[in-house]
Amino acid sequence: MNYSYQIIEGTEIQPDELKIARAKSLALAIQHHPYCIEGTLVCRRRTDNSEVILVTLDIEIPQYPANGIQVYEDVAIICSACDNNFPEVYALREDFEESLPHTNLCSFDHPIALCVTEQSFTEAKLKLTEFEFIGYIRNWFTLTSLDKLHQEDQPLEPFFIPKGYVMLTHLYDPEKYTHLNRIGETNLYELSNEPSGHSSFHLFGFKSDPQTHGFVRRQPKVLSDIGEIIQIDGIAFPVVLRRILNERFKEFLQNQSLIKRKLAFHCCIPVKRHSDDTDTCSWEYLFFLTEASILDIGEKSGCLSQIDGLIVPIIIGDFEQEVIDNIPIELYSSMLDYNPSTSALFNNIKKNDDAFVLIGAGALGSQVFDHFVRMGFGTWTIIDHDNLYPHNLAKHSLDRKSVGYNKAIKVSEKANELHRMEIANPIDSDFLTIKKDDSVIAKLQDAKAIIDMSTSIAVARTLARDYNETIETPRISSFLNPDGTDLVVLAEDKRRKFRLDFLELQYYRCLFHDESLHDHLKYEDSLKLRYNRNSCREITNRINQTDVALNASICTKSLQLIIENGEPTISIWRTDKTTFEVRKYSFEPTKWIRKDIGEWTIHFDLWLLDRMNSFRYSKLPNETGGILIGSYDLSRKVIYICDSLFAPADSKENRSTFERGAEGLLTEYNKYLKVVDNQLCYLGEWHSHPQGCSTEPSTDDFNLYDYLYKRMSRQGSPVLMGILGDDDCNIIFRPCPT
């Protein structure tokens, strides 16, 4: 091989004289590799002690190869003694095409440096063999000959190897900014309209003619190096720059601070994937930073001078092209700033622009919201009237700087600052006090989902019942159990056939019927922490931040899925305190029937009705019964019947009469109340009538109801009687006197 490239020059040695371990292994692999041409191996040692291996490879190519790839290709492989990166690989042919994808920039045109793998050397070297590395090189040639090395769906490569980056804001407008300011001591800059005083540059923007993607062969060092690559209306960029400096000469003289500031240039380059494409595939934003100011250029051109600190012209508008051409430059590429679009991309999710309302920005709510914000998911209205206090810092997404301020306002500010645009709008109010405000109702109507994390039953009931005629938006409620190990998510379907108040009652019932969840709502006094001596109600829970963080992540993923599929949900995730395993409990939402009696509305769970019917059939021909369990809402005059404890063993069940016993019933009922934390209660009695009989109450039934009514109404509690027959359950109800 007779190549005179300086980079491969060195003293020729025999393969067994190689000293670098990787070079020795490569030489040995080449000698035994079936696609390395025998007799072409040449080894050299350079003056810097790195070792060069030259070899001809047999390449698998199609009948009509693309990009000029040939069957036999000469390559050089350079191994360094430090072995801290892949060996350098060069294609040696003097007519090898330039500007191919996956080649590396050098300070020379030839040979062409190949990028044969995208792997990290630190990871790859643990198992990389020299046979495999030769395979990487051959694969590079083969795919390039097929024009498939750079896939159609692969992002276009940058034009140059940048020294650093400039952050581009969302919806970037190149004419909007006049300065580049350095961030800290990094090679990262941000756009601004004011100089920061710290490594600040005055910025000039240009839009160039379209270019085809692919690396430029040389890393630009001075402005003239980019003249052929970046052109504006067919004119080289340095020539255009000289024209602008001359045309705006007088304007610059009137701004003494600008004329002394270092210059930076921004080029917006339309990029085509293929040279014959008519449409632009993407845009490349390049920044060229210099150490030169307009004053420096003018002084070297002989058209500007400083006299006693005052800048004065010598010859109007005569900046020399040679001076401009030789301005040293450092190339900076663009980096998209963090915004909803990029955050969704980085989180591997589809961007969501829907509006959401979050009620409650406490421990769970703030952390779930923070997850959504960092994923660029949605725009938000946050409603919370609480302020952040020191004890909240243990498990809140906000930090000490927000102590004493409203939670909704501060989490919104944090989100908007993160994205540098408004994605969250706070409302510093108690939801129950503003629930009738037109602006609040409009927010609820426009939302994709209303997410309640206020841990307030009053808020949940308001959302479930008070907007049924005006707001179709599905409601979702999520909260933690008292010790923070269990996450609960109750979600309406997108058509609201399964309402939130029904889901809540079913959730309580499910706790009792699954014995493993009997401690779900268990509340230990030791978990309470009083943080104000002035009120016995000012209490916070001792919940571990790791539990809140884990459940917030699960909650966020769950909400995403619910929002996407619109299915009703009753789910509990429980974390084992010893193994930290998470178990999910899912319960099928059931349908309810409604009965209106006067001003009152009674809702009856069909799951319970089916269960009562089955129990009745098991006892026929005798009558049977039990007690009714559920909840009531006195302010809205609503009663929910969701469960029953059936007749105990000492009950008297006959063909025409039923007398409920009491054996063990009180114990079981008290157990029920404890499991559900008193969220359900006794509502009355039910019994069955024989087959073929009416469900109209008998005299005995009326007498029993009167007895119950007198006892319960004294306590202000409504009382029901259910009579179950073949086809229906007749509900007897009389409102309490007011």
Neighbours of 152 (CB within 10 A): 8
Alpha helices, DSSP H, located in 384-477: 407-419, 431-434, 438-446, 457-465
Q: Are 42 and 9 in contact (CB under 8 A)?
A: no
**What span, in angstroms and rounded, lies between the C-alpha atoms of 367 and 398?**
9
Question: Among 379, 360, 364, 359, which Cα is nearest to 419's?
Answer: 379
- Name residue 486's amino acid: D
For 358, the token pair is 């979050």
Give 672's Cβ-side CA count (13 Å radius): 22
Task: Give the Å distances, CA to CA, from 641 to 70, 493, 596, 675, 716.
Answer: 82, 21, 13, 17, 18
For 96, the token pair is 């090898």
**48 burial type by CB count under 10 A (0-12 exposed, 13-18 middle, 19+ buried):** exposed
3-state SS assignment for residue 206: strand
Task: Give the Å distances, CA to CA, from 345 to 152, 203, 352, 736.
Answer: 19, 29, 11, 59
Task: Give the Å distances, CA to CA, from 624 to 640, 697, 700.
Answer: 22, 15, 15
Q: Are 378 and 361 in contact (CB under 8 A)?
A: no
β-pair type (352-359, 377-383): parallel
- Name residue 581's amino acid: E
Question: Among 104, 115, 118, 121, which Cα is nearest to 140's?
Answer: 115
**What is the set of active-site residues?**
623
**What span, in angstroms and rounded, lies between the C-alpha atoms of 143 and 375?**
36
Dump the DSSP string for 527-555: GEEE--TT-TT-EEE---HHHHHHHHHHH
Neighbours of 188 (CB within 10 A): 14
